[in-house]
A and B are shown apart, each in its own frame.
Chain A
Amino acid sequence: GAVVSQHPSWVICKSGTSVKIECRSLDFQATTMFWYRQFPKQSLMLMATSNEGSKATYEQGVEKDKFLINHASLTLSTLTVTSAHPEDSSFYICRALGVAGVHTQYFGPGTRLTVL
């Protein structure tokens, strides 16, 4: 069964609203969460890395005030897209790492965001 869940699986919102995406590790403690964005027919683009209890580290070009990441517990990380615009429409995917690093790593199923 799935070891990492994301909620919601898809969301449609109006331009200017904020959307929160949750990523949960179901049966292991995720010390690190990675958030990716994927546009159609393109590869994964890393947005940020978060460690439990610490501030997220954002990749160059990713606006930290627009994409708020919280990793408050070892099983939950959230990504909030603030004041979403149509160009933010994308497939957002989290990847969770357990204490064994790449030996326990799982992608979430992804969240399809459409901003009208």
Chain B
Amino acid sequence: QKEVEQNSGPLSVPEGAIASLNCTYSDRGSQSFFWYRQYSGKSPELIMSIYSNGDKEDGRFTAQLNKASQYVSLLIRDSQPSDSATYLCAVNPLSNFGNEKLTFGTGTRLTIIP
């Protein structure tokens, strides 16, 4: 089992709709969770971090964390063509606690259809 799993996609969503991206992780003791956006040919850009169960909202983005289910998701409301990118889920497992060495998923490619 991979440490961090994401559906590779591609995920196609109409403009204006809600895009839902999912991620599961294997280390139950994981403490920190991050979502990055990566445009083709560019480096990842941090868009959300979440540390406790529940929802965290920032503009059009909402991160959801359920530690019992070892599940973290990212919702993008009012999707725009500029949201088309690969979204990487990253987790700081308990085994890496203190050294901040994140484990990344393989990413989900999101395409927003105008």
Contacts and interface: CB of A to CB of B under 8 A. Distances in A.
Given A43-B107, A44-B44, A102 B99 contact: no
The bracket for how many chain A residues form the interface is: 10 to 19
A44 B42 contact: no
Interface residues of B, number: 20
A58 B107 CA distance: 23
Contacts of B43: 91, 93, 107-110
A58 to B, nearest CB: 12
Given A107-B43, A110-B43, A42 B106 contact: yes
Looking at A43, A46, A106, the one whose CB has the most chain B CB atoms below 10 A away is A43
A34 B106 contact: no
B100 A102 contact: yes
Interface in B37-93: 41-46, 49, 88, 92
A19 to B, nearest CB: 18
B100 A101 contact: yes
Interface of B: 32, 34, 36, 41-46, 49, 88, 92, 99-102, 104-107
Interface of A: 32, 34, 42-44, 46, 49, 91, 93, 97, 101-102, 105-110, 112
The 10 A-B pairs of least Cβ separation, nearest first, read: A110-B43, A43-B106, A107-B43, A93-B43, A44-B104, A101-B100, A102-B100, A43-B104, A107-B44, A109-B43
